[in-house]
Structure 1
Amino acid sequence: MKQWISIIGLLLLMNISDSYAQVYNYIEEDENKNGKVKQDPNTQSDKVPLRDKLFFGGNVGFQFGDVTLVNLAPLIGYKITPQLHSGVVFSYTYYKDKRFNPTFNQNIIGGRIFARYIVSVTEQLHIFPHLEFQTMRYETRNGLFEVPAEWYNSVLPGIGIQQRIGQRSAINIYALYDLNYNNDTSIYDSPWVFRVEFNI
């Protein structure tokens, strides 16, 4: 008797499932006729709008006193993939040191191109290998004479940490190494370069 009850129950279940499938198909067909076509998620376009692939940011630095330093470095980047990012940075630095007599002045203008690959540690914390090429033009004036402008090029590989602080915004901290470092001509005091950067 129990076997018959199980068989009847199984048949009823199959009948209900079949009826549900027919109703579902009918609704789908009716939507298709009215121009409301249900798309298969696997066939939907995976194109990302350009505005979601672009990101902006950079860093700003100020110091006043006997030594005046103003640094502006706006950035525009592009997400080639969700992990691989590239971009350009334009940089301007004004340096003035009153401790020298006469006063020492320097203007540094240039830019850099970079690429980095984002690796997630947590949802909010990421690390990334970073590589950039930088070219800077600097001119020096000390009140008595002006040194002709010179170009300084450098290749800087390194690693960074990214802490997300919103859906699109993040703070990046870099540790980079200048492969072209030369104690006589470099614009840096050491081959190690550290930066803090904000992205949106």
Structure 2
Amino acid sequence: MKIFIATIFMLMTITSFGQYDMEENEKDTIPKAQKTSTFELQKNISVGSSLNLLLGNYTFVYLAPQIGYDIKPKINIGLQGMYQYTRINYSGYVEYANVFGGGIYARYRPIEKLILETSVNLYRIKYGANNTTNTFKLNANSWLAGIGYARPLGEKAFANFLISYDILGHENNPEPIIFSINKFNLYYKFCFILYPFN
């Protein structure tokens, strides 16, 4: 009799388990807000670059690519790199500098055309003269905080102009200077930002 009752309970348990639909339960327990597709995540990815170019006795090449992600509708964080080449010809005497750098940034757009941005960067600078092997290298860093103007370029892109101040005040900060007086320097950057998956 005990075996019979135990068998009945076991069959009832198996039957009850068979009625449980895992897929239906998953649909019921995951809120719609959490069901985010890969495409929806990709829409928050931004890519961009700054590019300055000046040729002649004073040659200046500046390239700063970046990739970021909108963690909130108005907040973008990401990584950026930087390469800069400067060459100055003083009537045959030539000085040059190669700079490699990069860092992290955070950008906030409280309104459509206003940008608040901060970035922390590290640089490796190599100086030389007259194409000789007599070069020297040094490291520099910066913590830039700035304000800028954003101009929309359609629905997927915008251009911005940013003026920043280096909180660390490193004397060898290689970023382009727009204003300088008594070691008070303001730096500028033109940048084009694109949301390729938007």
TM-score (norm 2): 0.70
CA distance in 2, matches of 1:182, 1:51: 37
Counterpart contact for 1:67–1:99, Cα < 8 Å: no
How many aligned positions are there? 154
Closer, same or farther in 2 for the Cα pair 1:141/1:44, shift >3 Å?
closer
CA distance in 1, matches of 2:121, 2:145: 11
Structure 1: tracts of 5 or more residues without a match:
1-41
Structure 2: tracts of 5 or more residues without a match:
1-30
Largest Rg, 1 or 2: 1
Pick aligned residue for 2:118 from 122, 131, 137:
131
Percent same amino acid at aligned positions? 23
Q: If each structure's strand is expressed as a fraction of its own residues, which one has the higher value? A: 2
1:167 is aligned with what amino acid?
Answer: E
Residue 63 of structure 1 pairs with residue 54 of structure 2: yes
Residue 187 of structure 1 pairs with residue 174 of structure 2: yes
Residue 75 of structure 1 pairs with residue 66 of structure 2: yes
Q: Give deviations 1:19-77, integer Å, cap 9, x for gaps.
A: xxxxxxxxxxxxxxxxxxxxxxx945573623201011111121111111111111111
TM-score (norm 1): 0.69
Does 1 or 2 have the higher relative contact order (CA < 8 Å, sep 6+)? 2
2:188 is aligned with what amino acid?
Answer: F
Residue matched to 1:162? 150
1:137 is aligned with what amino acid?
Answer: R
Closer, same or farther in 2 for the Cα pair 1:178/1:44, shift >3 Å?
closer
CA distance in 1, matches of 2:154, 2:165: 29
**RMSD of aligned residue pairs (Cα, Å):** 2.1
